[in-house]
């Protein structure tokens, strides 16, 4: 919302806005762009002469400004609608989707285009280190979008990515997620199949040929489809995968590429980005050079610091499959290290018990695991709520050491006391986790 607000201001619109909590860096960025922002929601924040109200998908009925908009019968639209009409129509839109890996894949693709001189527009749900920001709007004909299957707004329950006018779509994988808006995996597969129905005949869908759900949703797609993966039945096979210190090598269509990241899931993400970049017109050599200089995305296996010989890693993983993949990747990145995993059940899905068993399986791959109390438990009915204490008992049953520690302070004290030199502590959360990373590093530094 903030990046689009700044882009609309640059186009000459007068822009104001509100958020529940206004804080840097977005608040200072918007102020520097001349966008007036209000903290909290009040009816009087909407100017008397407002022409259009853009309502984000975090806003529900009952919000003071939403109610004012409806009562005054103002023209209101969703953020994806603004993107569609203001930035995407008539352009080459590359939409990266899937349950996992879409932030890294879209960041890779945007960087490949940027490094090749295409100066793309992009909107990515993370902070690509090469690019320095998650969104930018240029005059380029190329646009890279992280395509989210989450709903658009309280008045439009279609997936956001259905607004993005895709020329190319990548589907990395499809699993059940977003239990707050989807009742089943079939509903999620349906929205992905609808996405493929709007890819043009001169466009392309690149799908994971090793994922049965991807194959199912793409089998009757009216657009060109190419499958990519490691299996023999894939149109494009990922071959010659080799891991070295801090990098991975793979071969695709006879060309060898080197990625400065490790892990099979990163190789798969890279293969998707490579294929999309080639479709955009880049040469294999341009792709090779761009991929070699890719610096990754903040909060994806990011080393936050090391104190007393203990490395503290930040990772965004919050789905059982992503947690398992993150653990596998860190095993490859830090072979032989004792691995701690501290997981915060924060997302709308992981606060529910829909993944009670799967989370235990994933966390059981760690050597030591910690889970805190659930954030805002009252927002989930007790019968549907994750039981963190049972989760820890089940993780112990998988052979890992595990603890349920309610607070950030308890976690910091426990890990600082028990961690040994050479350990790796991975903090997995899709939020700030109370500043756990820095607090732990400060406490370890005092230990010496």
Rounded distance between C-alpha atoms, residue 238 and residue 257, angstroms: 11
Residues 6+ apart with CB under 8 A from 336: none
Alpha-helical regions (H) of 17-128: 26-32, 64-71, 79-83, 102-115
Task: Name which of 292, 311, 290 is nearest 302 in CA terms.
Answer: 311
Q: What is the mean pLDDT of the chain?
A: 93
Rounded distance between C-alpha atoms, residue 248 and residue 10, angstroms: 40
pLDDT tens sequence across 57-116: 989 999 999 999 999 999 999 999 999 999 999 999 999 999 989 999 999 999 999 999
| pTM for the model | 0.83
Query: What is the model's pLDDT at position 302?
Result: 87
Query: How many C-beta atoms surround the C-beta of residue 378 within 10 A?
Result: 8
Coil, helix or strand at residue 54:
strand
Query: What is the model's pLDDT at position 41?
Result: 97
Q: Which two tokens stand for residue 180?
A: 């707050």
pLDDT tens sequence across 338-373: 999 999 988 888 889 888 999 999 999 999 999 999
Mean pLDDT confidence for 408-430 = 93
pLDDT exceeds cutoff 80 at 141: yes
**Is the peptide bond prior to 138 cis by the omega test (within 30 degrees of 0)?**
no
Rounded distance between C-alpha atoms, residue 436 and residue 416, angstroms: 12
pLDDT tens sequence across 227-277: 999 999 999 999 999 988 889 999 999 999 999 988 888 999 999 999 999
Q: Going from the N-terminus, what domains does the chain have, and what CATH number goes with each?
A: 2-74 (3.40.50.720), 81-292 (3.40.1190.10), 302-447 (3.90.190.20)
**What ranges make up the beta strands (E) of 68-203?**
76-78, 92-97, 121-123, 135-136, 142-146, 151-153, 156-159, 168-171
pLDDT tens sequence across 122-131: 999 878 889 9
pLDDT exceeds cutoff 90 at 34: yes
Query: What is the model's pLDDT at position 219?
Result: 95
Task: Name which of 156, 143, 17, 14 is nearest 84 in CA terms.
Answer: 143
Query: What is the model's pLDDT at position 181?
Result: 86
Residue 172 Cα distances to 109, 212, 214, 430, angstroms: 13, 12, 8, 20
Rounded distance between C-alpha atoms, residue 53 and residue 56, angstroms: 10
Across 265-279, 406-420, 428-442, least confident range: 428-442
Angle between helix 408-418 and 436-447 (nearest 10): 40
DSSP type of residue 373: P
pLDDT tens sequence across 269-287: 999 999 999 999 999 999 9
pLDDT tens sequence across 178-194: 878 888 999 999 999 99
Confidence of residue 321 (pLDDT cuts 50, 70, 90): confident
Confidence of residue 177 (pLDDT cuts 50, 70, 90): confident
Query: What is the model's pLDDT at position 448?
Result: 64
Q: Give the rounded percent of residues in the chain with a pLDDT score beyond 70.
A: 100
Query: What is the model's pLDDT at position 127?
Result: 80
Q: Give the rounded percent of residues in the chain with a pLDDT score beyond 90.
A: 72
Higher pLDDT, 23 or 32: 32
């Amino acid at each position: 919302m903030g990046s689009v607000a700044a882009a609309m201001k640059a186009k000459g619109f007068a822009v104001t806005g509100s958020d529940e909590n206004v804080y840097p860096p977005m608040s200072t960025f918007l102020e520097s762009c001349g966008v007036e922002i209000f903290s909290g929601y009040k009816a009087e924040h909407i100017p008397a002469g407002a022409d259009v109200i853009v309502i984000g998908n975090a806003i529900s009925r009952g919000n003071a400004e939403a109610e004012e908009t409806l009562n005054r019968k103002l023209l209101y639209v969703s953020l994806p609608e603004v993107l569609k009409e203001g930035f995407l129509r008539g352009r080459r839109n590359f939409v990266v989707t899937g349950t996992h890996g879409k932030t890294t894949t879209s960041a890779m693709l945007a960087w490949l285009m940027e490094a090749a001189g295409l100066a793309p527009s992009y909107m990515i749900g993370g902070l690509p280190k090469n690019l320095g920001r998650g969104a930018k709007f240029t005059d380029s004909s190329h646009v890279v979008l992280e395509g989210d299957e989450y709903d658009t707004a309280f008045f439009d329950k279609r997936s956001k990515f259905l607004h993005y006018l895709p020329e190319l779509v990548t589907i990395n994988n499809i699993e059940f997620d977003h239990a707050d808006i989807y009742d089943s995996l079939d509903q999620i597969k349906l929205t992905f199949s609808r996405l493929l129905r709007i890819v043009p005949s001169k466009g392309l869908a690149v799908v994971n040929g090793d994922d049965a759900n991807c194959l199912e949703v793409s089998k009757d797609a009216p657009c060109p489809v190419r499958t990519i993966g490691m299996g023999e039945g894939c149109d494009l096979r990922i071959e010659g995968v080799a891991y070295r210190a801090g990098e991975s090598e793979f071969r695709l269509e006879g060309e060898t590429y080197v990625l400065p990241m490790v892990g099979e899931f990163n190789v798969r993400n890279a293969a998707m980005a490579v294929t999309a970049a080639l479709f955009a017109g880049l040469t294999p050599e341009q792709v090779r050079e761009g991929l070699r200089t890719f610096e990754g995305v903040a909060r994806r296996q990011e080393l936050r610091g090391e104190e007393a010989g203990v490395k503290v890693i930040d990772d965004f993983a919050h789905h059982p499959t992503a947690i398992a993949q993150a653990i596998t990747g860190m095993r490859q990145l830090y072979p032989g290290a004792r691995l701690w995993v501290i997981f915060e059940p924060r997302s709308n899905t992981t606060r529910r018990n829909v993944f009670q068993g799967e989370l235990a399986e994933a966390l059981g791959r760690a050597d030591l695991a910690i889970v805190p109390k659930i954030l805002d438990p009252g927002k989930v009915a007790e019968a549907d709520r994750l039981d963190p204490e049972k989760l820890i008992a089940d993780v112990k049953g998988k052979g890992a050491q595990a603890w349920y520690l309610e607070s950030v302070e308890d976690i910091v004290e426990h890990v600082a006391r028990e961690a040994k030199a050479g350990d790796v502590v991975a903090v997995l959360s899709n939020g700030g986790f109370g500043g756990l990373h820095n607090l732990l590093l400060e406490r370890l530094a005092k230990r010496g």
